[in-house]
Amino acid sequence: MIEGRGSILIVDDDDSHRAMLKANLSPIGYSISEAKDGIDAVGAVEENFFDLVLMDIRMAKLGGIEALKEIKRINPEIPVLIMTAYASVKTAVEALKSGAHDYLTKPLDVEELKIAIAKCLEYYHLKGENLLLKERLSDQFKFSNIIGKSKAMKEIFETLSLVSPSEATVLISGESGTGKELIANAIHQNSKRADKPFIKVNCAALPETLLESELFGHEKGAFTGAIGKKEGRFELAHEGSLFLDEISEMSATTQAKILRVLQEKEFERVGGTRTIKVDVRLIAATNKDLEEEVRSGSFREDLFYRLNVVPIKLPSLRERKEDISLLARYFLDIYKSKNHKNIKGFAPRTIDLLMRHDWPGNIRELENSIERGVIMCREDYLGPKDLPLAIQNISSELEKEDMGIKPGWSIKDVEKELILKTLDETGGNRTKAAEILGVTRRTLQNKLKEYGMK
């Protein structure tokens, strides 16, 4: 006996036939949902996740071929088995061309149906595993866990692949939350020093009196509280890499000492006289415009040029919006696993809202938003209501927007605006939009073609 696992949507305008299929498939483990016509099927696929759709080809409201095309537009990966009592080469070719996995002829042989469903699900499961394996092997949008497919990020990946194996000093700039530390770590991990220490210092987190000691170490009795000798971060990073974050926040005195280490590869501990030689690759980062800091006299020009051998400017998240959905899904996978949540993905419009937000906190803000969403989510899909209020408010503002009709608009302008608003409300589903507008789908298609939006 074939045992089933997965959710199946049965689409048929014959109530008794749907009941028969459910009665045969439910007992062997499949979770069954029903739709009485193509319109209901498209709506069900938009709102829910199914492992497979089993659909009749002849239905009064939106036939199987049209519904199949809409379903594939919503989710190209969902397998669809077509049922038809009108078996012909033409019907089969049309169904397969439209994206069906296979087709079955009525009256159905129940055992053959079970085998066909099992084989179809197994095929798509293996296909998904192979796709995942290919993504893991190629990592085409990643560089040491840095994610992006935007033009800006591809250029940064190319720079990283060239600079990481070198010994060049790197200056990373960008707004807070853009991932400067992640970039520094990637440079180290892909360098010849990867098996040596990677030491980090946030120059803004320490007062000047402690920063110098932290970087260069101190001798016993060098200052009140120095009860013993301490090695500094430069010594700890010997033969490895030292990452100085927020480097613009150090005093002129400390800047001069950093410059000496870069030039001479040596320094003395605070309160000491012995010169210590080190071999350290320096990676620096700042969220300020260092050239402007040089012009204002806040930062040494000679140190700037020593640091700026290879500059890497990280774009803000609002400048790489095409990466938002990729990052959101990456963080969703991380936090649903951490929080033991079985969240299948994002509900309709959630990604749209994420794309509309300006992200002043950049990737860090996005990560925190998705983590919060995972914790708050009680459904199978993470929705707008699970996101922080700042993002929820975008949804409220969009809902409150009127059509913006102004005196002087033509009837054609008003008609176009109404159609576009309705399409937005239905997430681009033209079948649903046509139903709401009270026109045929063909009429809607013609109108969109007229507007140059086919």
In a domain, 126, yes or no: yes
pLDDT exceeds 60 at position 141: no
Per-residue pLDDT band for 442 (boundaries 50, 70, 90) equals confident
Between helix 324-338 and helix 362-376 the angle, nearest 10°, is 50
54: left (phi over 0), alpha (psi -120 to 50) or beta: beta
Of the candidates 117, 137, 157, which is a domain's last residue?
A: 137
Going by pLDDT thresholds of 50, 70 and 90, the confidence category of residue 128 is: low
Phi, psi values for residue 200, rounded to 5° = -120, 140
Report how far residue 188's alpha carbon sits from residue 197's, in angstroms, rounded to the nearest whole number: 9
pLDDT at 121 over 60: yes
- Shortest CA distance to 285 belongs to which of 252, 265, 313, 266? 313
Same domain assignment for residues 211 and 251: yes
User: What is the percent of the chain where pLDDT is above 70?
Assistant: 89
- Tell me the pLDDT band of 417, cut-offs 50, 70 and 90: confident
Q: What is the CATH number for 360? A: 1.10.8.60
Q: Of the candidates 137, 158, 189, which is a domain's last residue?
A: 137
Q: Quick one: pLDDT band at residue 103, thresholds 50, 70, 90? A: confident
- Give me the number of domains the chain comprises: 4
Q: Give pLDDT tens digits for 19-71.
A: 999 999 999 989 999 999 999 999 988 888 788 999 998 888 888 889 999 99
Say if residue 326 is in the same domain as residue 421: no
CA triple 188-192-197, angle to 5 deg:
50
Whether the Cβ atoms of residue 176 and residue 186 lie closer than 8 Å to each other:
no
Q: What is the mean pLDDT of the chain?
A: 86
- Model confidence pLDDT, tens digit, residues 430-440: 888 888 888 88
Domain for residue 26, yes or no? yes
> Residue 127 domain-assigned?
yes
Whether residues 218 and 272 fall in one domain: yes
Nearest to 103 by CA among 118, 121, 85: 85
Least confident of 25-39, 344-358, 395-409: 395-409
**Res 398 pLDDT > 60:** no
Inside any domain, residue 1: no
Q: Indicate which CATH number applies to the domain containing 439.
A: 1.10.10.60
CA–CA distance, 101 with 350 (Å, rounded to integer)? 29
Cα–Cα dist 430/446, whole Å? 12
The pLDDT, as a whole number, for residue 407 is 64
Q: What is the pLDDT of residue 288?
A: 95
Once rounded to an integer, what is the mean pLDDT over residues 163-169? 95
Examine the domain organization and report whether 101 and 168 are in the same domain.
Answer: no
Mean pLDDT of the 267-283 span: 93
Return the pLDDT at 246: 95
Q: Compute the average pLDDT of residues 189-210.
A: 91
Q: What is the pLDDT of residue 239?
A: 96
* Predicted confidence band of residue 87 (pLDDT cuts 50, 70, 90): low
How far from the centroid of its chain's Cα atoms is residue 58's Cα?
39
Residue 297 has pLDDT above 90, yes or no: yes
What does the alpha-carbon distance between residue 161 and residue 413 come to, in Å, rounded to a whole number?
Answer: 51
pLDDT > 80? residue 258: yes
Same domain for 154 and 263, yes or no, is yes
Same domain, 357 and 332: yes
Q: pLDDT category, 403, cuts 50, 70, 90? A: very low
Q: Is residue 159 scored above 70 in pLDDT?
A: yes
Of 137, 153, 173, which residue constitutes the final position of a domain?
Answer: 137
For residue 136, pLDDT beyond 80:
no
Residues 180 and 246 in one domain: yes
**Do 155 and 304 lie in a common domain?**
yes
- How long a stretch of residues is the chain? 454
What average pLDDT does this structure show over 439-451? 79
Structure tokens at 26: 């439910």
Q: Are 323 and 150 spatial neighbours (Cβ–Cβ below 8 Å)? A: yes
Do 19 and 162 have their domain in common?
A: no
Residue 405 lies in a domain: no
Domain assignment present for residue 406? The answer is: no
Q: How far apart are CA 34 and CA 31, in angstroms?
A: 10
CATH number for the domain spanning 52: value is 3.40.50.2300
pTM of the model: 0.59
Instruction: Please determine, for residue 426, whether its predicted confidence score (pLDDT) is greater than 90.
Output: no
DSSP three-state, residue 126: helix
- Count of CB atoms situated within 10 Å of the CB of 450: 12
**pLDDT for 135 beyond 60:** no
Residue 273: CB atoms within 10 A of its CB come to 7
pLDDT of residue 235: 93
Higher pLDDT, 6 or 108: 108
37 and 13 Cβ atoms separated by less than 8 Å? yes
The answer to whether the CB of 187 falls within 8 A of the CB of 221 is no
Q: Are residues 266 and 294 in the same domain?
A: yes
Give the best-scoring range by mean pLDDT among 190-199, 222-231, 427-436.
Answer: 190-199
For residue 206, the enclosing domain spans: 143-315
Task: Say which residue, 409 or 218, is predicted with more confidence.
Answer: 218
Residues 196 and 283 in one domain: yes
Per-residue pLDDT, averaged over 111-126, amounts to 85
Q: What DSSP character marks residue 238?
A: T
- In the predicted model, what is the mean pLDDT of residues 362-371? 96
Could you tell me if 238 and 197 are in contact, meaning their C-beta atoms sit under 8 angstroms apart? yes
Tell me the three state secondary structure of residue 214: helix
170 lies in the same domain as 221: yes
Give, in order, the Cα–Cα distances in Å from 437 to each of 27, 62, 202, 416, 420.
Answer: 41, 16, 58, 12, 11
pLDDT at position 131: 52
